[in-house]
Structures are given as C-alpha cells and as structure tokens.
A = this chain, B = another copy of it.
C-alpha cells in the first residue's frame, strides 16, 4: 500500500476512534484494529498516539475550515440573508458528511493546553477573520467583537446539529432556516411557518407548533421528499 494511502487510512480510523472512544481512551492498538493495519504500520506514519492526535486534529480542522471558507466564497455575491443561511448550512453539511469528524472537532475545541489547543486557536482565528470580513461589509464588527459573534454563531450551528441528532425526524433544512431567522429577526419575529416545518407533525405525538394540531397524510409525503 502506498504510504499516502496508508497515511489517510490511519488518520481516518484515528478520527473515528477518537470521536467514539474519547481522546484518553483511544490507543494505537484500537486505531490499528479499526484501520485493519498492523501497529507497526501506524508507527510508520506517526511516532506516538500524541502525534496521531495532532495530525488527525490538523487534518480535520483544515477540512472543516476549507469547507466553510469555500462555502463563503461561493455565496459571496449573494444578499446578506442568503450568506447568513449559507454559513449555517455549511456547518450542517459538514456534520452530515463527516459526523465522526464533527464530533471529533467538538471534543478538540475545548482543549486548553498543548499543540491541539494551539490548532484550535488558529482555526478560531481563521473563521473569525473570514466572518469579520463579511460582517465588516455589513458594517458590523471587527476584532474581538467579531470573534465573540463568530463563537456565538458557531455555537448556534452546533446546537442546531445537536437538535437534529436528539429529536428524530427533525427537518435539517428547517433548522438551518430557524437559525438564519433567529439571527435575522429574532425568535419572536420569526416566520411561524419555519417552526411548523421543523418537525413533520406525525413523526412524534408530542410535537407541533401551538395551535397547529392537524396531521394530514400530505405532510407525510412532504417529509419523505425532504430535499438533501
């Protein structure tokens, strides 16, 4: 197996094992088992579990940041609301494509010391700068204020992803619209149709928007055809 292939195989397995077993419980053995390679193969890629964590963190952070920056670039010419929506949608898209990678990043985020903490700070800086440049266009904020706003927006996206994981049958697109709506007009001014779209009424007996208790078969069809 070419070294590059083995390398990405090992790193991919490491992300999966770190995300599922935790940073401390993960061993080189369990990564070797997951990657279906020998332990010696892993030591051909990295020298230690610590280096494996560092390399995997760097790769996953890069992937996440690139995905967000690429999305921002693609939507740069759109109106403010569309850009705001695209930002949340990019985080959701990442979490859907790489759920283990996303879980791994959340684990890494609060590391306070060591090389991974430095990486996390670098990622935060990059995302903040990107957001700040977009918000500066809107005349909003720069520097630390932008950093705070970026932290809050990323926290909202993360919570939105969590909501789709916690409650089965939640429409991810509607959650993206919810987050966009909250940052646009607040929770109270929100278009009530967004709340109605969050949960197909028949997926959960206790769900629904106050006052909307109709459960028609046509909703089922709608839910089934939810676009990706």
Contact = CB atoms under 8 A, between A and B. Distances in A.
Given A24-B22, A110-B106, A189-B186, A208 B145 contact: yes
Interface in A130-181: 136, 138-145, 147-149, 151-152, 154-156, 158-160, 162-163, 166-167, 169-170, 175, 178-179
A209 interface: yes
Interface stretch (A51-59, A64-72, A198-206, A219-227): A198-206
A46 interface: no
A145 B25 contact: no
A124 interface: yes
Given A143-B206, A210-B139, A148 B124 contact: no
Question: What class of interface size applies to chain A in its complex with B?
Answer: 35 or more
Contacts of A156: 152, 155-156, 159
A171 to B, nearest CB: 10
A183 interface: yes
Contact of A141 (B147, B149, B182, B210): B210
A144 B170 contact: yes
A15 B148 CA distance: 28
Contacts of A49: none
Given A144-B203, A151-B162, 9 more contacts: A140-B195, A143-B204, A148-B170, A148-B199, A151-B163, A152-B163, A152-B179, A156-B156, A184-B188
